A and B are shown apart, each in its own frame.
Chain A
């Protein structure tokens, strides 16, 4: 445990001290870009099961969340794209895991809605397709389907830089779903590559106010893997 008045924790294990089986977990990142590597490794070493995981890809190419997927700790997953994740494809085909595929824009908006206190919204995305089955349809300028907010018990996200209040700055496209998940979870754990004192990040440059962050720690040993390295032709 940490000092009661501080959000700063020592590491992933201490920050996840009260995470339990059966909980709903949001995990930031697009593919392997911007994933909470330390928290995922800690979860792989924890004795938890029956998790509901909300994450765009549930890992990729045997890496990231695939570490806990192959331990069969995940009961249900919400994601938008599972291509490039053969471990998940196999488990879906064999019905070892329940997967709800959500169109990516609807996925991000359902998470944002939860954080913003919006219970549901109408969108044309998915109207007339398999994902509209069982959903309320309402006609505005075009037919739309109702989608509901997605909440979580915990979110694990990574930022490049954060201060001790939890104000965050993300690098390049590593931001993706992370600020939305931070808003949607009851407890948000952030791991950062640089942990600084309050005041060191210019208020203009804060991508996510620390209000949405409950715990933060300085991560270590980042791999920051590139899935497909393609460079300019010489």
Chain B
């Protein structure tokens, strides 16, 4: 059985050390915020200028000036801080953020990531993704295993334009947890009942 988004989030949280800092990308990774156990004491960073996101505000206390990078209203926890964008990206680029979790379009065995544009299609921009993948201590990609055409997004080589080279540490899909090693994808874990054939991955890149 393939994992749900919440089960994928829980798999990712297993990588987080207590008292670490985490940046969560727009889209699928936002599901992680509310799954993080309180006792882990994780500081969630949002690149628009806040460290210490705690989840959602109560209905009557939502503030238009307190948002995350997805422009959604948030709440903060004790110990939180606000700062400008340069300081925020200094935290990222300077290697002070322990983990970032981003969505992905393609990941390849050489630890390359493509997640920001499809040539000829609508462009949304890279936002902070290129900074995050090059600066965070560990980069975790949370994505669907297959493209809309049913092809595995874990590839020998990315076909789409790169977001970053040699940057991905872990890939979590609904079928399992994978580690690109430079030549192959090491299977760390498969979802219950998922067989290697279900991954539809090139056999030469599986380990």
List residues of A whose CB falls within 8 A of some B CB: 30-34, 56, 60, 79-84, 89, 92-93, 101, 103-109, 111-112, 123-131, 160, 170-180, 207, 224-233
Contacts and interface: CB of A to CB of B under 8 A. Distances in A.
A89 B131 contact: no
Residue of A31, A80, A177, A233 ringed by the most chain B CB atoms within 10 A: A80
A33 B65 contact: yes
B38 interface: no
A94 B65 CA distance: 33
23 contacts: A32-B64, A33-B64, A80-B127, A83-B125, A89-B124, A104-B89, A105-B135, A107-B85, A123-B134, A125-B131, A129-B162, A160-B65, A173-B50, A177-B85, A226-B67, A228-B70, A228-B71, A228-B72, A231-B56, A231-B73, A232-B55, A232-B58, A233-B56
Given A89-B122, A105-B135, A176 B48 contact: yes
Contact of A231 (B59, B82, B93, B163): B59
Nearest to A224: B64
A174 B46 CA distance: 13
A82 B123 contact: yes
Contacts of A125: 93, 130-131, 134-135
Interface residues of B, number: 49
Interface in B72-88: 72-73, 75, 82-86, 88
A232 B57 contact: yes
Among all A-B residue pairs, the 6 with the closest Cβ atoms: A105-B89, A105-B131, A83-B124, A108-B85, A103-B130, A128-B165
Given A108-B89, A226-B62, A232-B59, A175 B135 contact: no
A104 B47 contact: yes
Contacts, number: 173
B40 interface: no
Contacts of A131: 126, 130
B99 to A, nearest CB: 17
B158 to A, nearest CB: 11
Contact of A34 (B65, B127, B129): B65
A160 B82 CA distance: 14
Given A33-B48, A176-B48, A230 B73 contact: yes
Nearest to B60: A231
B56 A80 contact: no
Contacts of B57: 231-232
Contacts of A129: 130, 161-165
B71 A180 contact: no
Nearest to A225: B64
B128 interface: yes
B63 interface: yes
A175 B165 contact: no
B92 interface: yes
Contacts of A103: 126-131
Contacts of B69: 30
Contacts of A124: 93, 134-135
Residue of B58, B127, B164 ringed by the most chain A CB atoms within 10 A: B127
A129 B163 CA distance: 6
Interface in B92-136: 92-93, 117, 122-131, 134-135
